Amino acid sequence: MENIEKVPVHVSIIMDGNGRWAGEHGMERAAGHIEGVESVRACTEAAVKYGVKYLSLYAFSEENWGRPREEVEALMALMFKSMLAELRNFLDNGIRFIVLGHRERLGDELNRAIDDCMEKTRDNGRLTLVIFLSYSGKWDIMQAARRYAMEILEHPDEAGVRLEMDPDGFDRYLVTAGIPDPDLIIRTSGEMRLSNYMLWQAAYSELYFTDILWPDFREKEFLSALLDYSKRDRRYGKVK
């Protein structure tokens, strides 16, 4: 196995390029999403292999609800089918499965399946696989601010202390509470932006961009990103 000097604890991926991949292969967009599931499986296996503890995937943004209804329905159906198909693999390989996002916008059937999968895998500790579904960074910060404000309103006698909270304290109001910030964020397909993804949590993440489309991003490409990360000097604004 390739020697990696510094393995990131948390790797996050903005999975981009499914539609373009399908177009290049003369297929419907749905075919790109289906092939992208194979990349999810490959990267999950690679994360376990190389010792990554958290792998998070940006699967569906709040903005994606504006896509054609047929495509949105197909994506949700694929998510449902894939989750059921992978449950046995999660259990056999010690993978904890979590879905984060504005889940109120998801259908009841999908939410029930998500809750069931999360409950059955909650004690697994080899890898935590986080799927961001119906998520946006701005929404996350706003819902955290609302929760924070409600606590102050409910406990006015403690308002002074609560208002002195530092950034680390604010973390617990985000949907990612208890999950370490991503050390490395990978984006496929050549786009070089965060696209409203984990805006608070990505403050000091290392960014890695590749022209490879998501359905073609497998273990080899995942390893290349890890090796690139291991060569970087993370200073967090300090001088070493």
Cα–Cα distance, 240 to 238 (Å, whole number)? 7
Residue 89 is among the residues annotated as catalytic for this protein: no
The beta-strand segments (E) located in the chain are: 10-14, 54-61, 95-100, 127-135, 184-187, 206-209
Q: How many CB atoms lie within 10 A of CB 150?
A: 11
What's the angle, vertex CA 27, arms to CA 36 and CA 101, rounded to 5? 35
Active-site annotation holder among 18, 64, 168, 211? 64
Cα–Cα distance, 161 to 148 (Å, whole number)? 12
With beta carbons less than 8 A apart as the criterion, state whether 162 and 149 touch.
no
**Which residue, 72, 70, 42, 69, is CA-closest to 55?**
42
Cα–Cα distance, 89 to 35 (Å, whole number)? 18
Instruction: Tell me which DSSP letter residue 211 carries.
Output: S
**Who contacts 164 (Cβ-Cβ below 8 Å, separation ≥6)?**
none
Cα distances from 234 to residues 56, 187, 205, in angstroms, run: 21, 19, 9
User: Can you say whether the dihedral through the CA atoms of 86, 98, 76, 187 is positive or negative?
Assistant: negative
Residue 64 is among the residues annotated as catalytic for this protein: yes
Where in the sequence numbering do the catalytic residues fall?
Answer: 16, 64
